Amino acid sequence: MAGGGGELQLLGSWYSPYAIRAKIALGLKGLSYEYIEQDLSSKSELLLKSNPVHKKVPVLIHGGRPVCESLVVLEYVDEAWAGDGPPLLPADANDRATARFWTNYFDSTFFPSWRALYRSTTAEQRAEAFRNAVPQVETLERAFGECSKGKAFFGGDAVGLVDVVIGSFVLWFRVVDDVAGTNLLDQAKSPGLAAWAERFLAVDAVREAMPDAELLLEHYKEFLAKFASPAGST
């Protein structure tokens, strides 16, 4: 494993749940870094040079070497600073596989389903997207049981990889619920997830990484206004 030395910079966008993942991980490890906000509508030379393949945030630059893609960044932070802060992944190989399975599930299966709700602009679209998302929430509720084994977080007693990956979306879930009139992590239907979300948002490193909920709501409303308008979608 590489040591933890070298200058550390994070390229992110304040509203990006993927960049929030990196911020939370760096916070949990207690690492100092320079945060460089990126305007994704006018990408910087530094971003294009650091992530020429995807041109996306987050990018973690450590001693001049860029690490791209949020899941890759999280595992990198866990490995490069294995001695600092709590581990994001458990020690047991089977538990590690379970954690990686659920992070992959969230990004590859849950997210595309929820994105339909996020992109909906009419009541009909919202009702259908929400109906389609419900089975995925039920699957995540079961995942919480499987990963947490009765403890507070997916990672057990402390925040781990799955918490960071899913938790980075919690404010986004609420903002979309607010506009759509839905309740994704319903206390009656997903009691494990609903209580977990509150505990997650109360963690110091999470609070420090999260954007302001009001600003996020404004940002989402602006997105919807552009998205719903044909002129904005060019």
**Comparison of 42 and 108: residue with beta carbon closer to a copy of itself:** 108
Token representation of residue 71 = 């899941």
Q: How far is the CB of 71 from a copy of itself (least distance, A)?
A: 7
Q: State which residue, 38 or 70, has the beta carbon closest to a copy of itself.
A: 70
Q: 């650091």: which residue's tokens?
A: 50
Structure tokens at 108: 């590859």
Question: Smallest distance, Å, CB 92 to a copy of itself?
Answer: 5
Judge whether 120 and 179 are in contact, CB under 8 Å.
Answer: no
Looking at the Cβ atoms of 91 and 202, the one nearer to a copy of itself is 91
Tokens of 99: 């954690």
Q: How far is the CB of 94 from a copy of itself (least distance, A)?
A: 5
Q: Cα 159 to the chain's mean position, in Å? A: 13
| CB-nearer residue toward a copy of itself: 79 or 157 | 79
User: What values do phi and psi take at 69, rounded to 5?
Assistant: 80, 125
For residue 93, the minimal CB distance to a copy of itself (Å) is 4
Find the shortest distance in angstroms from Cβ 144 to a copy of itself. 14
Alpha helices in the chain (DSSP H): 17-28, 45-50, 70-80, 93-105, 111-119, 123-148, 161-167, 170-180, 191-201, 204-209, 213-228
- Judged by DSSP in three states, 136 sits in helix
Residue 9 CA to residue 82 CA, distance in Å, equals 19
- The pair of structure tokens assigned to 6 is 């070298």
Q: How far is the CB of 21 from a copy of itself (least distance, A)?
A: 14
Of the two residues 36 and 71, which places its CB atom closer to a copy of itself in the complex? 71
104 or 229: whose CB is closer to a copy of itself? Answer: 104
Single-letter amino acid code for the residue at 59: V
Binding site for a copy of itself (CB under 8 A): 1-2, 53-54, 62, 65, 67-69, 71-73, 75-76, 79-80, 91-94, 96-97, 100-101, 104-105, 109, 139
Least separation, in Å, of the C-beta of 217 and a copy of itself? Answer: 30
Q: For a copy of itself, which is the closer residue by CB, 1 or 188?
A: 1
Name which of 75, 104, 95 is nearest 148 in CA terms: 95
